[in-house]
Structure 1
Amino acid sequence: MRGAGRGSEAVTAVAALAALAGCAAGCTVQPAGADGGNRPPVRIELPSRTPSAPGAPDADGEGPSGAGDGAGTAPVRRPARVLWSPGDSGRDVRELQARLRQVAWLFDGPTGTYDEPTEEAVRGFQGRRGLPRTGRTDTVTWQRLLRMTREPGRWELYLMGGQPADAPDPRCMTGRVLCISKSSRTLRWMVGGRTLSTLPVRFGSEYTPTREGVFRVYWKSRHHVSTLYDSPMPYAMFFSGGQAVHFSVDFAARGYAGSSHGCVNVRDEAAIARLYAQVRAGDKVVVHW
């Protein structure tokens, strides 16, 4: 009968839908024919779901890129990678110190050595910004500092000296010479073309420039005091008029924030004391760029 056929088809459809709803993944539905016989089985494939990895690190390895797999798993944040820590040294540490000076967290240096004042400055910087106060410079701390500061200039990196010396001027390669470079702000003590010691130095300002050329040490004065400026000039070795190589308390305290009145200032008193004992009157002095 026609009515019975349509009723049988409806029952079959309902049964198929019920079977489909009961499938959690792929399953096989065995529909019944209108005549009560069996049709070939039909395989129904449901899309599979691949859970995302919780706490997957982002591109720089600093933390998760997503919120987990949606099952309530909290993201796992990896500790930031440490770049520099106490005891490290080098040019990168100088830049760290120079940038900390720019934001007034460090007042000494840069020295190029990750010392106790640097550790305290980093710890203070971290604490003010809600970062873990480790005192070690990790990638998160460094990126925050980079956004707040500018690229330090060459002399900012060597505010208190320590910069590498230029190659010796050819005029320094013979004899006993105080070879003084304005470009690298260093003094080489050389004998027979060999460098025996190197010291950071500073020069006069644009109004009182240090003269350039080849000179001779014509007078040494251990406890000299300037008659023109009434200022001490210990270990003075005069080479051109009133200009001399000598120890400077101001240079030792302020670094390159100041300048001389034309003399070549040395900030390391122990080093210039040794140099003073070696240099003789008549030794050559070369001041060059």
Structure 2
Amino acid sequence: MRTRGMGRAIAAALVALAAVTGCTVQPSDGEGKRRSPVHIELPSGTPSTARTPTGGGSPSAAPAPPDDDKPSAAPAPPRVLWSRGATGRDVRELQARLRQVAWLFEGPTGNYGEQTERAVSGFQGKRGLPRTGRTDTVTWQRLLGMTREPGRWDLYLMGGQPADPPDPRCTTGRVLCIDKTSRTLRWMIDGRTVSTMAVRFGSQYTPTREGVFSVYWKSRDHVSTLYDSPMPYAMFFSGGQAVHYSTDFAARGYAGASHGCVNVRDEAAIAELYAQVRDGDKVVVSW
């Protein structure tokens, strides 16, 4: 009897322990074997999503999903650097770089006109950019990455470069003051510049001679007997070398050279100069 009473007490204690610790009493399995009398469930390392924060209160609410319906601000368009009507050295560089990638075949002129606008638009379309014809920062950076820095004569391939200060020998009298460094001709009278124009010289094999000369013969519709080429508005100053208009210079700029003459590409300018220059006027050719 005493043994039976002790068994009941032990069983009662086990039931109480199970209730406190979350244990469950396991019945016998189907084969009549008894399992462990208790199964203790230990807490896992992953907290429950519905876990109450320390200190009480309700579970934290999940963050609200983003409002996908709210329109986002449109990105600012790239800044326009140059567009039709712009002028200056920067436009010359733009045109020189467009020539390098075969989108422009004239100039550089330094004037952002229809041809430049069309070239920029074509360049933009080829690279998936909006075809505005205006050079913005995105277009410019793309062009910079595809081209090299243009040199001075890339920028002034067809003339238009500023003249250097005149040689001191040009400051008195009537002078055709020709500068090989800046590739310009100044028509000067008593130290005053009357007009300035771009000029081209002979190649290394047929160089234009330097020095002080004078105009000894003028020939309005001259044709070279040596090269069988026209030399309109020719003003001879040293042997067969003359200042004259050149259709080749007008067409190709500094991509070509003369046979020693001083070529002018602006026909209207040299026609006016020809009318003013007299036989005997001084000619100074210098570096």
- C-alpha displacement of 1:71: 4.8
What do residues 23-77 of structure 1 show as CA deviations (whole Å, max 9, x unaligned)?
799xxxxxxxxxxxxxxxxxxxxxxxxxxxxxxxxxxxxxxxxxxx965454631
d(CA) in 2 for partners of 1:181, 1:14: 92
Contact 2:52-2:58 at 8 Å conserved across structures: no
* Paired position in structure 1 for 2:98: 100
Which one of the candidate residues 258, 262, 279 is aligned to 2:260?
A: 262
Cα distance in 1 between the residues matched to 2:216 and 2:52: 116
- Of residues 80, 84, 87, the one that matches 1:86 is 84
Identity of aligned residues (%): 77
Structure 1: distance between partners of 2:256 and 2:126: 32
Inter-CA distance 22–272: structure 2 relative to 1 (3 Å threshold):
same
Taking the TM superposition and a 5 Å limit, the aligned residue runs for 1:1-289 are 18-19=56-57, 21-22=59-60, 71-72=67-68, 74=72, 76-289=74-287
C-alpha displacement of 1:104: 0.2
List gaps (5 residues or longer) in structure 1.
Answer: 1-5, 7-12, 26-68
Separation in structure 2 between the aligned mates of residue 91 and residue 122 of structure 1, nearest angstrom = 17
- Separation in 1, partners of 2:89, 2:154: 12
Report deviation, 1:274: 0.2
Residues 87-120 of structure 1 show CA distances to partners (whole Å, capped at 9, x for unaligned) of 0000000000000000000000000000100000
Counterpart CA distance in 2 for 1:177 and 1:192 is 8
Pairs aligned (count): 238
Shift of 1:145: 0.2
RMSD: 2.4
Which ranges of structure 2 fall in alignment gaps of 5 or more residues? 1-19, 21-50
Bigger radius of gyration, 1 or 2? 2
Superposed displacement of residue 15, structure 1: 8.1
Residue by residue, what CA displacement relative to the aligned partner does 1:253-287 show, whole Å, maximum 9, x if unpaired? 11111000000000011100000000000000000
Q: Which residue of 1 aligns with 2:16?
A: none
SS at match of 1:19: coil
Cα distance in 2 for partners of 1:226, 1:253 equals 19
Deviations along 1:159-192, one digit per CA (max 9) or x if unpaired, are: 0000010000000000000000001000000001
Q: 1:14 to 1:108 in 2, by over 3 A?
A: closer
User: 2-side partners of 1:14 and 1:183: how far apart?
Assistant: 87
| Residues 180-189 or 15-24, more deviating | 15-24
User: Residue in 1 aligned with 2:34?
Assistant: none
The 1-side partners of 2:222 and 2:284 are apart by 22
| Other-structure match for 1:31 | none
Q: Deviations over 1:146-167 (max 9, x none)?
A: 0000000100000000001000
- Partners in 1 of 2:280 and 2:188 — Cα distance? 14
Aligned equivalents of 1:184 and 1:210: distance in 2? 15
